[in-house]
């Protein structure tokens, strides 16, 4: 049985996130600036950081292959955003057809870079650095140094609407959905635990599982009840939930997903064991292009225009979220859930300091120190294990 102490050490970032949120809540409340947990702020936290969660999910797969990163995601976001503007604003194309074409283009961009990385063996850092320059330059040429907008209301509604979409039952529907989510989560955890025990695998203690489920269920009920006091559950949250669940299942429960971890552990050994490492590397970077396209579509819907400054620093947010969430700088270690926690942590830092009126430069300093601390912790942990 996995001890409670081990459970806490493995979920240290989640505990730290909760403590940081409580700290900001205390500081904001005592300063008379409202509440971090107000319905409006929780909704804004989702809308402002949705792109980070999407990009961090894709970046994690790249990092798992051996600590590799993609520096071009911000430029892919601005390029796909510009193309979506041409399709929907200039050409008056159907939003659904535009979304499909933009995702195809984003995937092809990812495949272009993946080819050079996986089969020509050009280092990912060099390939994606070139992509960062090329794709942003193309985007600015397409837009003519000015934004494109506004976008059709039917398109914006796809990402900016709420469930339920108005009415007097917002609070009740939000709670019902939260209860259903909690019930499904508890069922999945219990079934998974029983299957692992049946196969003789190590499992966490029953007390640890109960504490985790009670804590997570409590958070879900609280957050959704706050949504019910505002405009309902953001549709964007549903999209994010689907992405997180799909990629969590892929990395944890599929053979190709486990290949990514094997590559990060020892790529040569994985190749000798029969893993097609070139194919897996190609998939990781092609998928990163696809998710960058999704993030671009979410971004232009939120801002109602394809901006010339879009995507700036997005790659740093995605990389930082993965490392803060427990991904190893050497590859082979990390989870989608951890990347999501890291993204939320970054979002809470940004929102909390903004509400408190902290200087933008100070915010950068704090975020940089947090990222450095996460990587230092990873390196020291790896050295400690090797010494043992």
Tell me the pLDDT tens digit for each residue of 90-113: 899 999 999 999 999 999 999 999
pLDDT at 12 over 90: no
Average pLDDT, stretch 284-288? 95
7 compared with 379, residue with greater pLDDT? 379
Calpha distance 55→73 (Å, rounded): 8
Average pLDDT, stretch 43-49? 88
Average pLDDT, stretch 44-55? 90
Which own/partner contact pairs does 133-141 have at CB distance under 8 Å and 24+ positions apart?
Answer: 133/75, 134/75, 135/72, 135/75, 135/76, 135/78, 135/79, 135/109, 136/74, 136/75, 136/78, 136/79, 136/311, 138/79, 139/75, 139/78, 139/79, 139/81, 139/82, 139/308, 140/308
339 compared with 362, residue with greater pLDDT? 339
Say which CATH topology domain 34-166+252-383 has.
Answer: ABC transporter involved in vitamin B12 uptake, BtuC (1.10.3470)
In the structure, what pLDDT confidence band is assigned to residue 291 with cuts at 50, 70 and 90? very high
Q: What is the model's pLDDT at position 385?
A: 60
Q: What is the model's pLDDT at position 270?
A: 87
Q: Is the peptide bond before 164 cis (omega within 30 degrees of 0)?
A: yes
In the structure, what pLDDT confidence band is assigned to residue 166 with cuts at 50, 70 and 90? low
pTM greater than the 0.85 cutoff? yes
Rounded percentage of the chain residues whose pLDDT exceeds 70: 93
What three-state secondary structure class fits 97? helix
Q: What is the model's pLDDT at position 158?
A: 87
Calpha distance 381→338 (Å, rounded): 17
Average pLDDT, stretch 251-261? 90
Please, what is the Cα angle at 67 between 65 and 275, to 5 degrees?
15
Q: What is the model's pLDDT at position 5?
A: 55
Average pLDDT, stretch 304-317? 86
Q: Tell me the pLDDT of the chain averaged across its residues.
A: 86
**CB atoms < 10 A from the CB of 315, how many?**
23
pLDDT at 192 over 50: yes
pLDDT at 117 over 90: yes
In the structure, what pLDDT confidence band is assigned to residue 185 with cuts at 50, 70 and 90? confident
The DSSP 8-state label assigned to residue 86 in this structure reads I
Average pLDDT, stretch 236-263? 90
Average pLDDT, stretch 273-289? 93
Average pLDDT, stretch 327-338? 86
Q: What is the model's pLDDT at position 108?
A: 96
Q: What is the model's pLDDT at position 1?
A: 46
pLDDT at 43 over 80: yes
User: Residue ranges per domain, the chain?
Assistant: 34-166+252-383, 167-230
Q: What is the model's pLDDT at position 189?
A: 85
Closest of 294, 292, 307 to residue 85, by C-alpha: 307
State the chain's maximal CA–CA distance in angstroms: 63
pLDDT-wise least confident of 126-140, 198-212, 226-240, 337-351: 198-212
Rounded to whole angstroms, what are the CA distances from 63 to 206, 287, 309, 320, 337? Answer: 32, 13, 26, 11, 15
375 compared with 143, residue with greater pLDDT? 143
Q: What is the model's pLDDT at position 69?
A: 92
Q: What is the model's pLDDT at position 386?
A: 58
Q: What is the model's pLDDT at position 382?
A: 61
6 compared with 329, residue with greater pLDDT? 329
137 compared with 206, residue with greater pLDDT? 137
Burial degree of 28 (CB within 10 A; 0-12, 13-18, 19+): buried
380 compared with 126, residue with greater pLDDT? 126
Closest of 97, 242, 243, 224 to residue 162, by C-alpha: 224
């Amino acid at each position: 049985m996995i001890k409670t102490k081990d459970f806490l050490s493995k979920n240290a970032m989640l505990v730290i996130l909760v403590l940081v949120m409580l700290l900001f809540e205390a500081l904001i409340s005592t300063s008379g600036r409202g509440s971090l947990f107000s319905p409006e702020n929780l909704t804004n936290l989702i809308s402002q950081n949705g792109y980070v969660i999407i990009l961090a999910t894709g970046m994690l797969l790249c990092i798992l292959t051996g600590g590799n990163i993609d520096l071009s995601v911000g430029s892919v976001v601005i390029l796909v955003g510009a193309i979506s503007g041409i399709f929907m604003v200039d050409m008056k194309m159907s939003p659904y057809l535009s979304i499909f074409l933009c995702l195809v283009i984003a995937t092809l961009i990812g495949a272009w870079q993946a080819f050079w990385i996986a089969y020509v063996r050009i280092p990912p850092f060099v390939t994606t650095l070139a992509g960062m320059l090329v794709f942003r330059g193309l985007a600015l040429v397409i837009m003519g140094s000015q934004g494109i907008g506004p976008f059709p209301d039917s398109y914006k509604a796809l990402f900016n609407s709420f469930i339920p979409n108005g009415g007097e039952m917002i609070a009740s529907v939000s709670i019902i959905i939260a209860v259903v989510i909690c019930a499904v989560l508890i069922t999945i955890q219990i079934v998974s635990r029983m299957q692992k025990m049946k196969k003789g695998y190590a499992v966490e203690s029953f007390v640890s599982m109960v504490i985790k489920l009670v804590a997570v269920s409590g958070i879900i009920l609280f957050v959704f009840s706050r949504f019910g006091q505002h405009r309902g559950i953001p549709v964007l949250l549903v999209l994010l939930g689907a992405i997180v669940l799909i990629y969590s299942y892929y990395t944890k429960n599929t053979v190709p997903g486990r290949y990514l971890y094997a590559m990060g552990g020892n790529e040569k050994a994985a190749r000798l064991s029969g893993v097609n490492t070139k194919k897996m590397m190609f998939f990781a970077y092609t998928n990163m292009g696809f998710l960058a396209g999704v993030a671009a579509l979410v971004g232009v819907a939120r801002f109602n225009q394809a901006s010339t400054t879009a995507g700036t620093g997005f790659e740093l947010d995605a990389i930082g979220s993965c490392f803060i969430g427990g991904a190893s700088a050497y590859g082979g270690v990390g989870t989608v859930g951890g990347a999501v926690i890291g993204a939320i942590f970054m979002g809470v830092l940004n929102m909390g300091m903004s509400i408190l009126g902290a200087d933008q430069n100070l915010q950068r300093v704090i975020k940089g120190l947090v990222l450095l601390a996460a990587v230092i912790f990873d390196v020291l942990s790896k050295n400690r294990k090797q010494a043992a």
